[in-house]
Amino acid sequence: MLSLFTHLADIVAYEALALDKSSSLGTAVHFFIEDTTKIFFLLVVMIYLIGYGRTYISTEKVRAWLSGKSRFTGYVLAAILGAVTPFCSCSSVPLFIAFLSAGIPLGVTMAFLITSPIINEIAVVLLGEAIGIHFTISYVVIGLSLGILGGALVDYLKLQKWVEPFVWEIQVPVTQEAGISGWQARERSARREVIDIIKRVWLYVLLGVGLGAGLHGYVPREWFVANAGPDNHFAVPLAILAGIPLYANAAGVIPVAQVLLDKGVQIGTIMAFIMSIVAISLPELMILRRVLKPQMLFFFAGFLFVSFNVVGYLFNFFFGG
Amino acid sequence: MEIAVLGKGCSRCTSTIERIEREAKALGVDVQITKITDEIEIVKNGVMTTPAVMIDGKVLHSGSIPSIDAVQSWLKK
């Protein structure tokens, strides 16, 4: 069904605009049209479906589900809920405090915060489209595992000392959220979510695909193979370091990732690059500084850096080709 | 009527304030809007996701820009 978009791009680029199929401009324009139409179509459909499902979840409910669970159940559940709960990074501080105040262990709270940016519906949709279903499933499993592992490590090492002390004293009242009931309200909420998210990410998608189209049409494969391919043994850490200052969401990154894969960059390097961009962001760390001591931020960033390297090298080794 | 909008200066918080002001004006209701932007103050009110709206110390909405219907129903009370 998705070949529909390839046909559409064929018609627009090669017939309507009469561009040469073998020229750089032609392939770049074709790529841009095919990818943007396909991505927006997939996003609208998926966000709507997931938005509907999400009306059954809220941070208030998540907090209630997570409090009083055993440690192990807590880590796993927190990682899964982190992946599916709607939550923007600007809410991480209130959420962090509210979780701890409800008696949820620090590690369980961190598991939620680690998984949340790595896995979201936009990333999953775009990855499925760009690198295939198998790698997308691996990506999700890795994202969950990192949350569980990171959370467990925080508790094992007793890192409570690296939380700003005032945090433990805050009492957060439990509010009853109004909640959504009835299918009309859920439907309306799902539709609003589509509009909300598309409004937020459309520019990233266009920039990402535009950049991808440029790379696709103008930068030769040899350049990527030589600089970021299997011959460069440091491709993985370099990709992660390059990803840190790039503060973008999955919507902008994955179209670029697809091109990198086509150009001979290895899959592990690409996964590490995507994870680094979406999960390690300086603004996010600055926001969390309010409640976490610098040592904890270094631990957090360091844990992610090391894990992404492990993921990248392992994937290159097993699936790099 | 005193309405508090909770949120750390995100664009959705600004939209929430604008929407309340617009609806209040249309309905001829006199409102005073206070902004609560400090994250610690926000969470002390029991709010985890912003923008949130609080009237008379009660949180009526959180996590998104409230719908026009919802805003009107608060203002008519």
Residue contact A86–B63, C-beta within 8 A = yes
Answer yes or no: is pLDDT of A81 > 70.
yes
Residues of B carrying an active site annotation: 10, 13
Q: Is residue A187, in this structure, part of any structural domain at all?
A: no
Give the sign of the dihedral formed by CA B29, CA B35, CA B40, CA B43.
positive
Measured in angstroms, the CA of B9 and the nearest CA of chain A are apart by: 9
What chain B holds in terms of domains, given with CATH numbers, is: 2-75 (3.40.30.10)
B contacts of A55 (beta carbons < 8 Å): none
Helix H or strand E encompassing B59: strand B58-62
Q: Is residue A192 part of a domain?
A: no
A164 touches chain B (CB under 8 A): no
What ipTM was reported for this prediction? 0.81
In a domain, A24, yes or no: yes
Could you list the beta-strand ranges (E) of A172-229: none
The domain containing residue A139 runs over which residues? 3-170+200-319
Listing DSSP states for A55-72 in one string gives TT--HHHHHHHHTT--HH
Q: What's the pLDDT tens digit per position in A42-80?
A: 889 988 988 888 888 888 888 888 888 888 899 999 999
More confident site: A96 or A247: A96
Whether A162 is in a domain gets the answer yes
The model's pLDDT over A207-228, given as tens digits with 9 standing for 90+, comes to 888 888 888 888 888 888 888 8
Write the pLDDT tens digit of every residue in A98-121.
Answer: 999 988 999 999 999 999 888 877
Question: What whole-number distance in Å separates Cα of residue A17 and Cα of residue A3?
Answer: 20
Closest by Cβ to A172, choosing from B7, B46, B50: B46
User: Do residue B48 and residue A91 have CB atoms under 8 angstroms apart?
Assistant: yes
Inter-chain Cβ pairs, chain A and chain B, closer than 8 A: 64
Decide: residue A12, CB within 10 A, 0-12 exposed, 13-18 middle, 19+ buried.
middle
A255 vs A177, higher pLDDT? A255
pLDDT band at A247 (very low <50, low <70, confident <90, very high): low
Pick the residue from chain A with its C-alpha nearest to B13.
Answer: A90
C-alpha–C-alpha distance, residues A76 and A175, integer Å: 25
Residue with tokens 């949820």: A104
Q: How many domains does chain A have?
A: 1
Q: Which amino acid is at A69?
A: K
The helix/strand/coil state of A264 is coil
Percent of chain A exceeding pLDDT 70 equals 95
From the list B44, B49, B61, the residue facing A170 with the nearest CB is B44
State the Cα–Cα distance between residues B50 and B48, nearest whole angstrom: 7
d(CA A89, CA A121): 15
Q: State the amino acid at position A234 in one-letter form.
A: F
Q: How many CA atoms lie within 13 A of A69 on its CB side?
A: 20
